[in-house]
Amino acid sequence: MSNYIKNLNWRYATKKFDKDKPISNEDLETLLEATALSASSYGLQPYKILVIDDKEIRAKLQPAAWGQSQITEASHLIILANQTTFGEELVDDYLKNVSETREIPLEGLKGYSEMMKSNLVPLSDEAKASWSARQAYIALGNLLSAAADLKIDACPMEGFDSSQFNTILDLDKQNLNTAVIVTVGYRSEDDQTQYFKKVRKSKENLIAHL
């Protein structure tokens, strides 16, 4: 069994963190870089990664997350906030970056630009928000895998009121919505969940070769 698979078997959704054991700055930067390197549709990354370090802000957010202890006890709280809507600027900004990074003329990307815009811009705001949230969840997968590889504990969380999070963090004015949150740190010895056997569907029931 590869170390990667061993580490994925080691990870679990940590319910209780050791609040006195922070993640090093180096490991945090590795986690964030891995998240930033995630795949996304067209490479557009229609979301923002928010690292909530401020303890007072996290205390304000905790009631909006059903009082769950991970919000304040974990080393860091990371929020993946998707764009709620967008226009042609999403594509324009991306292709400007492509042009500068790869040192190619922007004019040569015109066809690619028109294709992306024709597929995305006409969507309703509801469809745009749904699409961008799915991209944020792809990034979530990378974050969790990177954390497991570093032997850092994590808990992806959907148990929160996104509208309250958005209000507390002033995200509405930034065209952002709290899609999913992740607490990261190190498990407490008191967290009994770490001793539970991992339960997954068998490969025979989950995987089909056609």
Residue 38 has pLDDT above 70, yes or no: yes
Tokens of 106: 């922007």
- pLDDT digits 0-9 by tens, 176-196: 999 999 999 999 999 999 999
pTM for this model (two decimals): 0.95
- Count CB-CB contacts under 10 A for residue 21: 13
Please tell me the predicted confidence (pLDDT) of residue 1.
65
- pLDDT digits 0-9 by tens, 128-175: 999 999 999 999 999 999 999 999 999 999 999 999 999 999 999 999
- Minimal CA–CA distance to 36: which of 137, 132, 143? 143
Query: Percent of the chain beyond pLDDT 70?
Result: 100
> What CATH number should be reported for the domain whose range is 3-84+126-206?
3.40.109.10
> How far lies 106's CA from each of 88, 89, 102, 173, in Å?
15, 14, 10, 31
What are the extents of the domains in the chain?
3-84+126-206, 87-120
